Every structure is written in structure tokens, then in C-alpha cells.
Structure 1
Amino acid sequence: MTLVRWNPWTEIDALQRQFDRMFDTTTSSFPVALRDLNNAVKFPAAELTQADEALHLKLEVPGMEPNDLDIEVTENMVSIRGERKEESQTEENGKTHSEFHYGQFHRVIPLPSRIENTNVTAEYKDGILHLTLPKTTAEKNKVVKIKLDEATA
């Protein structure tokens, strides 16, 4: 039987190599994940509600001017493009802190009902864009007939 002398440094070196491999695999995909997170932040939140006469769409686009938004409406979808240009600067105790955020976004929202895209109204207030999308006459009067089987009744 051979006697092997234990060297704690070989164990530490093996552990170091494992950590290096682990961080090499996570950091190689990290910039892609960070880029995706950055795009998610630029994506405006939306809320679509449906009434009898119209659809109501609210989009959260704070810090933007109305002329920074490009809104296109078809009978079955709404497309919104914009570009954020936001800067903030604060001064405290003789130190200036400045931040800026720039970026473009594009969001397409499919609509559950056909609308009259020529009669859409829009209002922009306090960073919230409100769109009122009136339904077409055919959609307003749409009646769906349900047939019940006698076995299930």
C-alpha cells in the first residue's frame, strides 16, 4: 500500500477551477440576459378593457411628449412606437448626480374585436395614454347562438 501525502492546496485549486468554470458559463450568457432585461424596461405596460360600445386601451409611457409617440390603428390591432429621452439631474451638498435614459420601443397589441379605426380618440395625461376604440356596428350587434344538447340539460 502506498502512502499519499494530503496537500490541502490541491483541494483548494480544484475548488477554484470549479468556481472559474461556473462563472465562465454564467457570465458568458449574462450580457444577453442583461440586454433582454434592458429591453423589457423600455416596453410600455398596457391595459385593455372591453365595454359594449368600445375597447379602452391604457398605456404607461411616462416622461414622454405626445409628439414622441407614433400610434397606428387598424381594425384589429394597435401599434405604438416611441422614443424615450429622459434626463434627471440633482444637486446635493455640492455634488451633482445626473442620469439619462434613451431608447426606442415598439408594441403591437392585437384587439379582440373589430373596431372603427377612423373614430379612435386619444388622450395623454400624466404619462398615461388613453385610447378609446369604438367597435364596429357588426361587433356591437354580434349575437352568438348557443345550442344545448338535451342530454346535458
Structure 2
Amino acid sequence: MTLLRQRPFGEFGTLQREMNRLFDTLSPFRDDDIDFKSFMPAAEVTETDDAIDLKVELPGLKPEDVDIQVAEDSVVISGERKSENQTEENGLTRSEFHYGSFRRVVPLSTRVDNSEAIADYNDGILKLHLPKVAEERNKVVKISLV
């Protein structure tokens, strides 16, 4: 009679390795994944009676790498975060940093006076102050019930 050693949880190790392999292949952080080359910076919009304030996270970018276009009804922010040349001799084996070009279009709820827009970039945060067009300020619209 041959005795077999039972490992009741032995298959869980195989299952875990297979799940890790699956998630690694589906991960957006793969070097050969084309979608990894771009990213979408986070934005925050605040509206007051007189203006719209927009903040956009752009860590690691230089001001000359960012292009801002303000229209009356939208803001387009585009640019490129250039990757640093990392090699395995530096010890890097995996990076979750997002590199490449980006384009973010932020639609505005009211028209703004784009000639009076003010931009400030500090500590990786772009701040835009967009004054509303004079006739949009405190605009009251009467709505009738049908």
C-alpha cells in the first residue's frame, strides 16, 4: 500500500499564481500596452456667481510641457509627461507612473470671458480662474408652468 501525502490547500497556491498571472496580463501597467502611453489628469471645477475655477492635477510636468486653450464654453488642456530613461541597472523592474501625451476637455456650464482667464501652476496643480461673461452673471430665467 502506497501512502500519498495530502495537501488540502496545495491547489490554492496554484490558483493564486494563475490569478496573479491573469491580473498581470490585464493590468494597465504593462509596458507594451498602447493605452498605457496616455493618461487623463484629474480635474476639479468650482463655480461661483462671477467665475468658474478649475484645478487640474499635473504632477511632474514643466509649464512648457502644458498647452491651455480657453474657449467660451470649454477648456482644453493638453501636454506630455516625458518618461525618464530607466534601465534595469537602476533597479527598476515595474513602473506605475503614467507617461505620454494627454488631452483633457472640460466643458463649462456657462460662457466665460476667455480674454480675462488667469492661470497659475504650482506644486503640480494647474489653477485656472475663468470670469463669466457679464450677461451670464446673476442671470435669472423665468420658467412658466404649462
TM-score (norm 1): 0.64
Which aligned pairs between 1:104-119 and structure 2 lie closer than 5 A? 104-119=101-116
SS where residue 36 of structure 2 aligns?
helix
2:80 counterpart of 1:83:
yes
Aligned partner (choices 84, 90, 96) of residue 96 of structure 1: 90
1:96 Cα offset (Å): 3.1
SS where residue 87 of structure 1 aligns?
coil
Q: What's the RMSD between the two structures over aligned residues?
A: 3.3
Residues matched between the structures, number: 118
Q: State the AA in 2 paired with 1:96.
A: N
CA separation in 2, counterparts of 1:65 and 1:143? 42
**Do 2:120 and 2:128's aligned partners in 1 also have CA atoms closer than 8 Å?**
yes
What corresponds to 1:38 in structure 2?
36
SS where residue 56 of structure 1 aligns?
strand
Which aligned pairs between 1:4-23 and structure 2 lie closer than 5 A? none
1:77 Cα offset (Å): 0.4
**Do 1:87 and 1:101's aligned partners in 2 also have CA atoms closer than 8 Å?**
no
Higher strand share: 1
What corresponds to 2:56 in structure 1?
59
2:125 counterpart of 1:128:
yes
2:67 counterpart of 1:70:
yes
**Do 2:36 and 2:98's aligned partners in 1 also have CA atoms closer than 8 Å?**
no
CA separation in 2, counterparts of 1:115 and 1:80? 16
What corresponds to 1:145 in structure 2?
142
Specify every segment of 5 or more residues in structure 1 that has no aligned partner in the other structure, as ranges.
1-25, 90-94
Higher helix share: 1
Specify every segment of 5 or more residues in structure 2 that has no aligned partner in the other structure, as ranges.
1-21
SS where residue 143 of structure 1 aligns?
coil
Deviations 1:54-104 (A, max 9, x none): 000000010000000010010000001110014387xxxxx7324675300
CA separation in 2, counterparts of 1:120 and 1:69? 16
TM-score (norm 2): 0.67
Q: Which has the higher contact order (CA 8 A, sep 6+)?
A: 2
CA separation in 2, counterparts of 1:88 and 1:31? 22
